[in-house]
Amino acid sequence: TREVLSDADMHIAKEAVRRMEQPLRLLVFGTDLKHAISLTNMMLGQRIMPPSLRQVHAQFGHGDMPRARVLYRDDRQEKLHGDALFGLFEDAPKRVRMTMYLPVLQKVALRLIADQDATKLAPEVAQIVNGSDIVIWAGGGCPPDLADVWAGVPGDLQNHSYLVVPPGTELSGWGDVPGKVMDFFEVDARRAEGAKTRKSGVDKLAFKESGGGQVVKAVKKEIEGLTQSANDACQVLLMRYADEVMPPPSAEAPQDADAGPLQLENPTLDKAKSQPVDEERAHRVRRQIYTIPLGKVATRSRGLLYQDLVKRQ
């Protein structure tokens, strides 16, 4: 396919495939560590990190067995698994990369970066935020260092970002941040965490009253929207390159005149081939798909992919 697709369309294809086949990248950051940690534990459905940490940089991905790679503050590295994972965060490691068999991690790869010192937190957020698909700013106020980082975040990514603060938070000190995110929620993260992680099962009433359900619902909606937009992008490429990707008739298996036309194995390609494709029509299709008023979900994906497409026009 590299010989068929242009560089721009190859980039679109790779990004679309990644979004459909791999978990989306969710970043949680903030200077209110107790709030950010409880929020992350809530989304994972397990109380993995204690609220007493003053700094945490952790990645959580899906895996068949619980494993972790740990970087300690003395630059010592260690690989852990099984029972050795218990109490992992009690030593306040510098960085942790952990895999667990949790349903949520099949949909999102979650990264938490939190530090009471905004001057230390801001450079780490700046390095990672643009590589994320969904972002949650987990309270802690709006210090100048983080405000500067957020000002440089593309608007398309801000359309997939959320401000999640404790109840009663005064937003007047947040500047224009609340207006640059998709939405903001007031969440009692400790109560949401307790309701979601208790051994007897989820306390649905407490979870709803805590506001945690709003965050979970928003993330699920983002997953559905971004995945659908990736599928839409693939449909555009299939329609555009239908003639080029169609396999030629095999010389070793000539078509029987009485057997009718050869049937494609891929129904999507079959549908695309049955429609006449030309440059003008392809351009109209692209505009139609990427300007459908789907609300605010999938805005970043549709916007970026459409920009890549029209650069060549």
Higher-pLDDT residue of 281 and 23 is 23
**pTM beyond cutoff 0.75:** no
Is the distance from CB of 150 to CB of 173 less than 8 angstroms? no
- Per mean pLDDT, which range of 7-16, 39-48, 155-164 is the poorest? 7-16
Higher-pLDDT residue of 174 and 245 is 174
The predicted structure's pLDDT at residue 251: 52
Taking 70 as the threshold, does the pLDDT of residue 150 lie above it? yes
The predicted structure's pLDDT at residue 243: 60
Taking 50 as the threshold, does the pLDDT of residue 249 lie above it? yes
Average pLDDT, integer, range 174-202: 93
Is the distance from CB of 192 to CB of 38 less than 8 angstroms? yes
Cα separation, 20 vs 107, in Å, equals 10
Cα separation, 138 vs 28, in Å, equals 6
Share of the chain above pLDDT 70, in %: 72
Distances (CA, A) of 72 to 26, 58, 75, 96, 116: 24, 12, 5, 9, 18
Give the residue among 265, 277, 264, 294 at the shortest CA–CA distance from 238. 277
Q: At what angle do helices 279-290 and 299-310 cross, to 10 degrees?
A: 160
- Per mean pLDDT, which range of 138-147, 154-163, 299-308 is the poorest? 299-308
Taking 90 as the threshold, does the pLDDT of residue 86 lie above it? no
